[in-house]
Structure 1
Amino acid sequence: MAAKKDTPEFYQLDYANLPDELFQSAVPAEKWLDRCVTTTEKSGFPLNSLNKVQPVDWVVEVERIIGISLYMILNVLPFLILPMAILYFGVATPWAQYLVLFVLGYVAVLSFLETMVMQPIFQRRYQQAGYLLSDESDFRNNQYVFTERNTCKYLSASYVWPHSIHPPALAKTPVLFCIVPHGVGPFGITAYPIWSKLWNAKLCHWTTAPVVLNIPIVGYLLRKIGYIPAKAPQILKTLTEQEDNVGVILDGIAGMFQDSSHKKELAYLKKRKGIVKIALKAGVPIIPVYAFGHTAAYSVLVDPFGILEHLSNSLNTSLTPFFGRWGWLLGPPRRVPVTVCLGNPVHCPKTESPTQEQINEYHAKLLEGYQQVFDQHKTAYGWKDKTLEFV
C-alpha cells in the first residue's frame, strides 16, 4: 500500500532534551515517539537544523568532564601498569617517579569526585539510587544510568530515522544496528535505552572487544548494561536464541585512525563483511547507522609509522594519544552535537550457509545504505560539501 502524501519521510527525537520524568524503563515508547519532529520532504530536514549545540545544566557538564575523563584513563590504565612500574622502580629518577605519582593522583582525584560527589547528586536526580548494586542481569533497567544520560545531554544527542523503520515496522524481528564511524568515543550509542525501546521492544546488546570486558571497573559496568563480546558465535546466539537486538560499531578500533577532514569522512568498511554473514545466518535486517559528530569530538595523534595503530588493532583497544576539549589529553570530548541517523533496513534472507557471492551482494547493499543515509542528512548537519568515502 502506498504511503499517504502527508506521511512523514523522517522522524527526529531530541533525546538530549527528553524530560527526566520520561527517562524510566516503565515509560512506554509512545511517550518518546510523541515528542518527535517530522518532515515529509524526501531530502530530509532543513539546512543546519540537526547541528545545534543545546544549553546544558552546568552540573551535568561538570559531571561529564569528570566522568568521561575518568572513563578514558581507566580504559588504558591496565596497559600502563608495567610501563609505570618500570619508570618508578627501574628508571627511578625523580622526574619518572613524579610522573607515575601524578598519573595515580589524577585517577584518584577523578574517582573521588565522580563517586563521592557527582554520583549521589544524579542518583537522586534520576531516581536511580543504588543502580550500581542492582541485579546484574536486569540489563534493561541498568541501561538507564545517569552517566550515559548526561553524555547525551553534554553532546546534544538527537536521533533521526526513516519511515521504513518507524514502529511497528521492526516489532517482530531482532535487529542488527551497525553504527559508524567509531571515532575515539562512539558516544552516539550511549543512549542505550533508545536501542532497546524505540524501534522495537527487544533488548539491545552492544558489542565490544573481549579484552575490554576484562578491564577492571570498565568491564563490569559494560556487562551490567548488556554488552557482549564482539564474536560471531555470541552475536548469532543473541539474535537467534535470545531473539534480542545487537549493536555493533562496525569499523571498530580501525575507524579511530581514519583521517577524516573538512572535505570528506572516511569509513573503514570495505573489509567488514563478517557482520553480513552473521545477518544472513540469522535472517535479520541490518540497519546502517551514521553518527555525525563522532569524528569531531576528539583529535587523534597518529604516529607516521603506524605502530600505535597496529598495536591498537591487535589488542582491540585504543593505545594512541587523543585530545579533546581544551586540548585535554584523554579528557572530555569537545561539545559538538552528535546526530545519529538510521537508514533503511537491509533485509537479509535466512541462509544457513551463505556463499561469498551472497555475502558480497548484501555487503554492497549495506554500503549503499550508509551512502544514502549520509547524503540524506549531511546538509541538515551542516556538512553539505562533505563526501563519504569507504576505505
Structure 2
Amino acid sequence: MTKDKSNKKKFYKLNLAELPDDLFDKSVPVSKWLDLATCVEDKFPPNSLNKTPPIDRQVEIERTVGITLYMLGNVLPFALPMLSFAALLSDIGYLCLKCFLVYFGALFCLNKYYFLPIFVKKYKRKKYLSDTDYADNQYLYTERNNQKYMNSQFVWPESLHRPLMEEKMGKSQLHQPMIFCAIPHGAAPLGITAYPVWSKLFNNRLCHWTCAPVVLKLPIISNYMRQIGYIPAKSRHILDTLTKKEDNIGIILDGIAGMFQSHDEVAHIRARKGIVKIALRAGAPLVPVYGFGHTSLWKVVVDPFGILERLSVKMDISLTPFFGRFGWFLGPPQRVAVAMCLGEPVRCPKIAEPTQADIDKYHQQLLDSYKEVFEQHKEAYGWGDRELQFV
C-alpha cells in the first residue's frame, strides 16, 4: 500500500551560517529570514545536517582565540587565587602563575585590540555592546562567527512555523512567551548562542537564557552575559520574566549534570520537573530543543567515581576539565556542525497551583517530544544508530 504523502509532517530549516551578513541585524524583518528557510516533508536527507564547509580563515582564527578566552574567563576567578597561593609556596607555582597571566593577557589583547575593531567594522555595528538594548546586543559579531564556525542550522516543525501560526492561531498567539528547553549541555552548549533566533524567529519576545547564579557574579563575564539578557536559573526570575516582562525563556534543561553525560546522547532530565511547574503557572508552552553536535564539540574528562560530578552539582559550578580542538586544554571547540532541532511544543494550560499529577503529565509529554524530535532528525545528522536515553 502506498503511503499517503498528505499525512507527512513538514519541517523547516534555516542555515544561519549561510545568512547574508547584512540580514544579521535587529532592524531586518523576520520575513527576510523566513524567505531563506527550506521546507521538506517527513525527513531531511541523511547526513544533510552534519556538514562543516570551509569558512573564512579570519573568522576561524577569531573564534579559536575568542572562545578560548571566554572559557578562561570563566575559570579565571577560581584559578587566579589558587595559582597565587601556589606562587607563594614554590618557584614552580610562581612559574605557573606567570605563564597563565601571559597566556590570558596575550589572548585578551589579541581579541580586544585586533579582532574587535575588525569585526565591529565588518558587521557594521556602532559599538560592541549597548548599555540598554539587550535585543541589539544579541547580534554580536562573536555570536555571528559562532554560527559560521559550527555551520549552525535550525530546524522546526510546521506547528512552530511563524506564518502558519499566525494564519491558524492569530497574531495574538505570536506574542505568547515560550520556554525553549535545550539539551544536551555538553561542555558548553554553543548552539544556543544564535540568540536572535530565539527572540525573533518564532515570536516577537526577547529571549532570556538562564545560567547558574554564580556565573552572573563573575567579573567581566557577568557583565557581558547580563547585557545580552541572561538571568539566574531560579524559579522566581524565570516566572517573573514570563509573566511580568512577558518575554521568552531559554534554559539548558540538563544543566551542570548534563556536562558529565557528554560522552553519549544521554539527557539528565528525568527528574527535571521544576520548569514544568513554572510553565503551568505561567501558561507558557514548553518547546523541546535537541542540539545535535553539542556532545562532540569538546572531549570532557569524567572521573570514574563521579566525584567531580557530585561536587559540581552540589556547588552549581563546573569542575569539569575538557579538551578542544588540537587537544587544547580549555581551548576552542572542534569544527563540528550544530543542528538545533525543535520538537512539537507542549502547550501547558495556566494552573495557579499545579498538582504533582499535573506536573508529571506534562513532563512526560516533554520527554515524549524530545524522543520524537531526536528520532525524526538523527539520520539527517548521521546518527541513525544512536538512541536518546533519559536518566
Q: Same fold (TM over 0.5)?
A: yes
Give me the whole-angstrom Cα distance separating, in 1, the residues matched to 2:233 and 2:145: 26
Equivalent positions of 1:344-355 (< 5 A) are: 344-355=344-355
Find the partner of 1:228 among 228, 231, 254: 231
Give me the whole-angstrom Cα distance separating, in 1, the residues matched to 2:105 and 2:354: 51
- Deviation, 1:37, is 1.1
- Deviation, 1:85, is 1.8
Give me the whole-angstrom Cα distance separating, in 1, the residues matched to 2:275 and 2:20: 36
Q: In 2, are the aligned partners of 1:156 and 1:338 still within 8 Å (CA)?
A: yes
Give me the whole-angstrom Cα distance separating, in 2, the residues matched to 1:67 and 1:194: 21
Q: In 2, are the aligned partners of 1:293 and 1:338 still within 8 Å (CA)?
A: yes
Is 1:82–2:85 an aligned residue pair?
no
**1:177–1:259 CA distance, 2 compared to 1 (3 A):** closer
Match of 2:104 in 1: 107
Match of 1:96 in 2: 93
The letter of the residue matching 1:382 is G
1:93-134 Cα deviation digits (max 9, x unpaired): x222111111111110000000000000000001113133x2
- Deviation, 1:177, is 0.2
Give me the whole-angstrom Cα distance separating, in 2, the residues matched to 1:347 and 1:115: 44
- Deviation, 1:55, is 1.7
Match of 2:133 in 1: 138
Is 1:315–2:311 an aligned residue pair?
no
Match of 2:358 in 1: 358
Give me the whole-angstrom Cα distance separating, in 2, the residues matched to 1:145 and 1:221: 11
Match of 1:159 in 2: 154
Q: In 2, are the aligned partners of 1:76 and 1:319 still within 8 Å (CA)?
A: no
Give the secondary-structure state (helix, strand or coil) at the position aligned to 2:363.
Answer: helix
Give me the whole-angstrom Cα distance separating, in 1, the residues matched to 2:7 and 2:360: 37
The letter of the residue matching 2:152 is A
Give me the whole-angstrom Cα distance separating, in 2, the residues matched to 1:115 and 1:203: 28
Give me the whole-angstrom Cα distance separating, in 1, the residues matched to 2:243 and 2:112: 38
1:257-310 Cα deviation digits (max 9, x unpaired): 01534xxx1000111000000000000100000000000001111122322222
**1:72–1:20 CA distance, 2 compared to 1 (3 A):** same
1:54-91 Cα deviation digits (max 9, x unpaired): 221100000000000000011011111221122101x2
Normalising by structure 2, report the TM-score. 0.95
Give the secondary-structure state (helix, strand or coil) at the position aligned to 1:291.
Answer: strand
**1:8–1:26 CA distance, 2 compared to 1 (3 A):** farther
Q: In 2, are the aligned partners of 1:211 and 1:315 still within 8 Å (CA)?
A: no
Residue identity over aligned pairs, in percent, reads 53
Match of 2:61 in 1: 62
Q: In 1, are the aligned partners of 2:213 and 2:232 still within 8 Å (CA)?
A: yes
- Deviation, 1:172, is 2.9
Match of 2:213 in 1: 210
Match of 1:119 in 2: 116
Match of 2:168 in 1: none
Give the secondary-structure state (helix, strand or coil) at the position aligned to 1:152.
Answer: helix
Give me the whole-angstrom Cα distance separating, in 1, the residues matched to 2:195 and 2:262: 28
Q: In 2, are the aligned partners of 1:293 and 1:336 still within 8 Å (CA)?
A: yes
Q: Which runs of 5+ in 1 are unaligned?
A: none
- Deviation, 1:315, is 2.7
1:298-356 Cα deviation digits (max 9, x unpaired): 11111223222222222322222100101100000000000000001100000000000
1:206-254 Cα deviation digits (max 9, x unpaired): 0011110111111100000011110001100111111110000000011
Q: Which runs of 5+ in 2 are unaligned?
A: 166-172
Give the secondary-structure state (helix, strand or coil) at the position aligned to 2:200.
Answer: coil
- Deviation, 1:196, is 0.5
Match of 2:15 in 1: 14
Q: In 1, are the aligned partners of 2:262 and 2:295 still within 8 Å (CA)?
A: no
Is 1:250–2:253 an aligned residue pair?
yes
Give me the whole-angstrom Cα distance separating, in 2, the residues matched to 1:360 and 1:386: 27
Give the secondary-structure state (helix, strand or coil) at the position aligned to 1:352.
Answer: coil
Match of 2:295 in 1: 295
Match of 2:44 in 1: 45
Is 1:28–2:29 an aligned residue pair?
yes
The number of equivalent residue pairs is 379
The letter of the residue matching 1:365 is Q
Give me the whole-angstrom Cα distance separating, in 2, the residues matched to 1:213 and 1:326: 30
Q: In 1, are the aligned partners of 2:181 and 2:250 still within 8 Å (CA)?
A: yes
- Deviation, 1:7, is 9.1
Give me the whole-angstrom Cα distance separating, in 2, the residues matched to 1:179 and 1:236: 18
Q: In 1, are the aligned partners of 2:187 and 2:262 still within 8 Å (CA)?
A: no
Q: In 1, are the aligned partners of 2:283 and 2:348 still within 8 Å (CA)?
A: yes
Match of 2:191 in 1: 188
1:126-147 Cα deviation digits (max 9, x unpaired): 1113133x2x221101111000
Give me the whole-angstrom Cα distance separating, in 2, the residues matched to 1:191 and 1:7: 29
Give the secondary-structure state (helix, strand or coil) at the position aligned to 1:196.
Answer: helix
Normalising by structure 1, report the TM-score. 0.95
Is 1:178–2:181 an aligned residue pair?
yes
Give the secondary-structure state (helix, strand or coil) at the position aligned to 2:115.
Answer: helix
Give me the whole-angstrom Cα distance separating, in 2, the residues matched to 1:311 and 1:141: 37
Match of 1:148 in 2: 143
- Deviation, 1:5, is 4.1
Give the secondary-structure state (helix, strand or coil) at the position aligned to 1:373.
Answer: helix
1:145-167 Cα deviation digits (max 9, x unpaired): 00011011101100000001110
Give me the whole-angstrom Cα distance separating, in 2, the residues matched to 1:379 and 1:260: 19
Q: In 2, are the aligned partners of 1:176 and 1:245 still within 8 Å (CA)?
A: yes
**1:46–1:33 CA distance, 2 compared to 1 (3 A):** same
Q: In 2, are the aligned partners of 1:155 and 1:338 still within 8 Å (CA)?
A: yes
Give the secondary-structure state (helix, strand or coil) at the position aligned to 1:333.
Answer: coil
Is 1:240–2:243 an aligned residue pair?
yes
Give me the whole-angstrom Cα distance separating, in 1, the residues matched to 2:190 and 2:262: 19
